[in-house]
Structure 1
């Protein structure tokens, strides 16, 4: 009986550790990494306005140019041009509509048109591009984005 309890304990411990492990293919792991960005502020000499520039840590820099998988909610940015944004949060609480920060959204540069419904999550894969230079674009861009079906 003691050995059965011991085996059962190891089984439960193994299940628990699996639940806590971060799985890069679950579409949520990379949001956690991307959320660690910091910002520095400076005055733009030409306009005299305060601007914030992202400062990417080593973990984020390692992902630049690499394929990542993100699960999120599509936020249409420009219906006529097909530009879209993927948000870690539903439309009602995304960066543009609620209290989340710019690190919780990524600009989508899709291979083919992405079909979506507002507030229904989708999972995309693509190559991450970090942007600290162009203030008219988001700090994260998912290049060659396409649907991710899982492994």
Structure 2
């Protein structure tokens, strides 16, 4: 199970990083422009954080502050949070509060170097560098299947392909540009493997999400919208914690109010 960083906040590794990178000051590049800075949620007194050293399985709550060119907080705007290496972001499009803070949670799953890219309206940009180590991490930087993830198979549509899309905000919704190989699959029968995340009550599910990794919380998606597929089936499937392989018609959603990019229609078990 992932280890939650509460009071200690990875004291030794984190404080070492803070000592190296220091806190933000207005003299560095980006002053006088809209900017996004990263903090540890619940530990704002530590100041701005530019880098974190984590172990695979660690969780950390993050707060990103969006300020305008004069340094004033910007409220009510959505930010887009992306992990270049594919580490899990539970809320990839958080909205800023009255103090300009937008909050999310990071689950470190993939070893090696990573960068979180945070973007907002206009030219607002920010980055948070990560180093993920530990027994589950790949020290060479190549992705290895971690706990709760599924190995890739040749007979199913991989999550790597589903995740290779560009996203942006459009009228308060996330819009997407799909790669050509995914566009060619729209309306076709495909197979997808993943874990069931129920959207309804009852033993049998007709409308649920299929996730790339085991849900860590049943009140939020375990990753970004590119890591889940909305599933609809007339048959109804029994709830299970085990991995499923489903077959159905692929529908591309751009955008929709549920924040999903993919839907599997008339789904049925493929195994």
TM-score over 0.5 for the pair: yes
Displacement of 1:76 after TM fit?
0.3
Alignment match, 1:35: 163
Partner of 1:132, secondary structure, is coil
Alignment match, 2:238: 115
In the alignment, is the contact (CA less than 8 A) between 1:67 and 1:125 conserved in 2? yes
- As a proportion of its length, which structure holds more strand? 2
1:87 equivalent in alignment to 2:207: no
In the alignment, is the contact (CA less than 8 A) between 2:173 and 2:259 conserved in 1? no
In the alignment, is the contact (CA less than 8 A) between 1:132 and 1:139 conserved in 2? yes
Partner of 2:238, secondary structure, is coil
Which of 220, 228, 253 is the aligned partner of 1:96?
A: 220
Displacement of 1:116 after TM fit?
2.9
In the alignment, is the contact (CA less than 8 A) between 1:54 and 1:139 conserved in 2? yes
Displacement of 1:109 after TM fit?
1.0
Q: TM-score, length-normalised on structure 2?
A: 0.39
1:59 equivalent in alignment to 2:187: no
Displacement of 1:59 after TM fit?
1.3
Alpha carbons of structure 1 residues 32 and 139: separation in structure 2 relative to 1, 3 Å: same
Alpha carbons of structure 1 residues 55 and 94: separation in structure 2 relative to 1, 3 Å: farther
Alpha carbons of structure 1 residues 97 and 57: separation in structure 2 relative to 1, 3 Å: closer
**CA distance in structure 1 between the partners assigned to 2:233 and 2:263 by the alignment:** 10
Which of 226, 231, 247 is the aligned partner of 1:125?
A: 247
In the alignment, is the contact (CA less than 8 A) between 2:176 and 2:255 conserved in 1? no
Alpha carbons of structure 1 residues 30 and 65: separation in structure 2 relative to 1, 3 Å: farther
Alignment match, 2:263: 141
In the alignment, is the contact (CA less than 8 A) between 1:95 and 1:101 conserved in 2? no
**CA distance in structure 1 between the partners assigned to 2:244 and 2:250 by the alignment:** 17
In the alignment, is the contact (CA less than 8 A) between 1:35 and 1:103 conserved in 2? yes
> Higher relative contact order by CA 8 Å / sep ≥ 6: 1 or 2?
1
Q: TM-score, length-normalised on structure 1?
A: 0.68
1:51-108 deviations in Å (ceiling 9; x for gaps): 321111111101101111111100001226842111111111799344x211110111
Displacement of 1:141 after TM fit?
0.4
CA-based RMSD of the aligned residues comes to 2.5
Unaligned runs of at least 5 residues, structure 1 = 1-20, 45-49
In the alignment, is the contact (CA less than 8 A) between 2:173 and 2:255 conserved in 1? no
**CA distance in structure 1 between the partners assigned to 2:158 and 2:248 by the alignment:** 12
Unaligned runs of at least 5 residues, structure 2 = 1-151
